[in-house]
Structure 1
Amino acid sequence: MELLSALFLVILTFLVVTAFYHKHLMAEIPPGFIQRKKLCFYHYLLNFGFVLAKTSEKLGLASEIHVIRTIMNTVPPLKDKHLFIKDVRFEKIKVRIYQPKIPTTGQRRGVLYFHGGVGQFGSIRAYERTCCYYARKSDSVIVSVGYRLAPEYPYPTQFEDCLAATIHFMRTAEDYGVDPTRVITCGDSSGGTLAAAVAQAMVNRKDLPKLRAQILIYPFLQAVDFNLPSYQQNKTFPILTREQILLLGLKYLNKDVTLLNVLFEGAHIPEDFQLKYQKWLSPDNIPEEFKPRGYKPGKIIHPLSDELHALTMPTFDPVFSPLIAEDTVIAQLPEAFILTCEFDVLRDDGLLYKKRLEDHGIRVTWCHLEQGFHGIVFLAPLGRIVSFQSGNKGIKQIIDFLKSI
């Protein structure tokens, strides 16, 4: 009887906490968002996973990162009868190649896919359904790159692996029925960072064909200004908050998380850097229709100590912040597809990069999801019950873009 009473109290406590959390969360979602209950449920599950991971680490059962990786890998793999799927290595890097079985008269386009996960989690397995979907729907050869993860392999190993895989694939593209002049880098979230950084690193290669395009799906592109309109408007919006992205980014760089407030306030930006980057990162470059929802211009704090500057220097590397690459690099980039979401802290990174590219004459196909949030496209291939209408719209436009290449 005592056991049943204890069990009842546990269940009751869980339901009360869940109800309170649900009420609080719903208040964070703007009234205009259509599929509110589904988003709330998904965010609850996501946060439950993070709490479980933290608890596991505190109890000494498994590290937080290991638990998150395990949870992500619970997405069931997909055996697609329309595709040849095989695991190979590009030098030391694991990749999985998805090739359509339908015969073709010529060579196909090739897509190097870099998964998200802030360089610390995510995997080929977790993105199996995503890559199968792109291969099948666009009749493309998809190469999912299993780059090594931090903290076991510190930054910038992730970029180095993606670049090495890209170079290897472009040299051997014809072995997989791919036209080496139709190779595209693609990634979501931090995978979008990697796709943009690899595209930049390839512009001066004379021994290989030029990349045909880059597809950046709600990418993280700069670690200079965390007070842009989208960071203010969506700082507590479900899935990815401003605090979460900064904490994960600091862990990725193996930096002390106590730097969080420094980054929030912009106190990590030297005055000469601020003057240089202002023309690229100014909120004035963001269309006015994106500003009304709770934006207040921020102030940069100066001066900056030499010690703090040294600690934050990696954030100014174009590998980590592709948006602040030099004009000479930006001007040589291939055309781009950029997807942004209205309810995403990273929205303005995409908007600012779009403008930088267009200012240099680079063609940009832009897809903005007015009902979108961070991670929504990842859910699209997982089925109707899990996916959101806006995410389905986004992935369709990505497929249409691929077919146009």
Structure 2
Amino acid sequence: MELDRDAAAVLEMIRTAGRPPWHTLSPDEARASYMAGRQATAPEPMPVAVVKDLVAPGPHGPIPLRLYRPAAAPAAGAAALVFFHGGGWVLGNLESHDGMCRHLAERSGCVVVAVDYRLAPERKFPAPLDDAGAATAWVAAQAGALGLDPARIAVGGDSAGGNLAAALCLMARDAGGPAIAWQMLLYPATDFAMDTPSHRRFEDGHLLTRESMLWFRDHYLNNTAEAADWRASPLRAASVAGLPPALVLTASHDPLRDEGEAYGRRLAEAGVPVTLWRVPGQIHGFLPMGKAIAASARVLDRLAAMMRGALGW
């Protein structure tokens, strides 16, 4: 399968610019580089009727949130997606995925609530997951005040955010709540073993490298033994039965491709309704890059339509 022309151009742009790999930088340096890359590749943000910053209480302190309410969403009883950004549990924030959240909200007619969970290595595992869980529980508890339908709240995220969403669904199932209607897992990390064929085939040269994944892992986890914890590696959960219906999107030229698809297959084998969608020709992290990768907008449009359908709106 050939690499998408736009994705190949992004990789060439990174090579030409001489951008250092994440694993050669400090976390603060990597964060600055990540945001500079966002500015270069993100499209103009879509206007959304209401964009409001909120704060949820969390186990490690207040958690910043950003709510996007499109004009098509009803004032009361709206469906919602609680969204966790990617960035290897080390990078990213509300701004890095602002355009993506706007796109999903505006095209779906659903409310999107982005979560600015705390990052490693300052807050290691399971602090980001704790924040994700606390934020989701708060949104569900405040559904009436936020104009949301508590029976139609989904969770989702890309990459590390997809990992948090998957683990959160397992936690919510075991704890008896909050109720989650759907999960949207976008090229998610599901297993820190990192020993699949796609990890070996795309270990270098396709934006996310094996060395950088090890760098992310070592910043996120307190020790390598935690890689076996299903909260870090959802694919290792003893059972995935009884989880919400899911969409699992993967990219063909992504080291995380095989573990994402393996998680989707496990869901299906356990009787969970799942849509598994591999986007051909794409690299890890392509969705927020609409200025540089034309396919991004088309995929986001389809994701928004699927979100709308899954949440009954």
Q: Same fold (TM over 0.5)?
A: yes
Pairwise CA distance, 1:74: 4.4
Corresponding residue number in structure 2 for 1:318: 230
Give SS of 1:212's match.
coil
The alignment status of 1:364 with 2:269, answered yes or no, reads no
In 2 relative to 1, CA 152–77 (structure 1 residues): closer, same or farther, beyond 3 Å?
farther
- Contact 2:153-2:180 at 8 Å conserved across structures: yes
User: Deviations for 1:255-277, whole angstroms, at most 9, x for unmatched residues?
Assistant: xxxxxxxxxxxxxxxxxxxxxxx
> Following the alignment from structure 1 to structure 2, what is the Cα–Cα distance between the partners of residues 160 and 46?
37
Pairwise CA distance, 1:355: 1.1
Coordinate RMSD, CA, aligned: 2.5
User: Deviations for 1:346-371, whole angstroms, at most 9, x for unmatched residues?
Assistant: 01111111111011110001211111
Letter in 2 for 1:395: L
Structure with more relative contact order (C-alpha pairs < 8 Å, separation 6 or more):
2
Q: How does 1:122-161 map to 2 (within 5 A)?
A: 122-161=92-131
> Following the alignment from structure 2 to structure 1, what is the Cα–Cα distance between the partners of residues 17 and 127?
27
Pairwise CA distance, 1:142: 0.6
Say which one has the larger Rg. 1
User: Deviations for 1:169-206, whole angstroms, at most 9, x for unmatched residues?
Assistant: 11111212211111111100011000101111100334
> Following the alignment from structure 1 to structure 2, what is the Cα–Cα distance between the partners of residues 371 and 52?
25
The alignment status of 1:203 with 2:115, answered yes or no, reads no
Give SS of 1:365's match.
strand
Corresponding residue number in structure 2 for 1:7: none
Instruction: Identify the structure with the greater helix proportion.
Output: 1
In 2 relative to 1, CA 51–222 (structure 1 residues): closer, same or farther, beyond 3 Å?
closer
Question: Which blocks of at least 5 consecutive residues in structure 1 are unaligned?
Answer: 1-29, 255-310
Corresponding residue number in structure 2 for 1:68: 33
User: Deviations for 1:46-105, whole angstroms, at most 9, x for unmatched residues?
Assistant: 851548984xx6xxxx94345335536747897754321111101111101111234638
> Following the alignment from structure 2 to structure 1, what is the Cα–Cα distance between the partners of residues 280 and 113?
30
Q: Which of 263, 281, 299 is residue 353 of structure 1 equivalent to?
A: 263
> Following the alignment from structure 1 to structure 2, what is the Cα–Cα distance between the partners of residues 354 and 70?
30
In 2 relative to 1, CA 44–358 (structure 1 residues): closer, same or farther, beyond 3 Å?
same
Corresponding residue number in structure 2 for 1:48: 19
Give SS of 1:48's match.
coil
The alignment status of 1:399 with 2:304, answered yes or no, reads yes
> Following the alignment from structure 1 to structure 2, what is the Cα–Cα distance between the partners of residues 80 and 351?
31
> Following the alignment from structure 1 to structure 2, what is the Cα–Cα distance between the partners of residues 233 and 205?
38
The alignment status of 1:343 with 2:253, answered yes or no, reads yes
Residue-pair matches, total: 304
Corresponding residue number in structure 2 for 1:87: 53
- Contact 1:367-1:394 at 8 Å conserved across structures: no
In 2 relative to 1, CA 115–46 (structure 1 residues): closer, same or farther, beyond 3 Å?
farther
> Following the alignment from structure 2 to structure 1, what is the Cα–Cα distance between the partners of residues 209 and 179?
36
In 2 relative to 1, CA 362–66 (structure 1 residues): closer, same or farther, beyond 3 Å?
closer
Give SS of 1:203's match.
helix
Q: How does 1:87-236 map to 2 (within 5 A)?
A: 87-91=53-57, 92-102=62-72, 104=74, 107-206=77-176, 208=177, 210-224=179-193, 226-236=194-204
In 2 relative to 1, CA 183–133 (structure 1 residues): closer, same or farther, beyond 3 Å?
same
In 2 relative to 1, CA 353–103 (structure 1 residues): closer, same or farther, beyond 3 Å?
closer
> Following the alignment from structure 1 to structure 2, what is the Cα–Cα distance between the partners of residues 315 and 105?
43
> Following the alignment from structure 1 to structure 2, what is the Cα–Cα distance between the partners of residues 49 and 243?
12
Question: Which blocks of at least 5 consecutive residues in structure 2 are unaligned?
Answer: none
> Following the alignment from structure 1 to structure 2, what is the Cα–Cα distance between the partners of residues 107 and 362?
26
Letter in 1 for 2:274: V
In 2 relative to 1, CA 198–38 (structure 1 residues): closer, same or farther, beyond 3 Å?
same
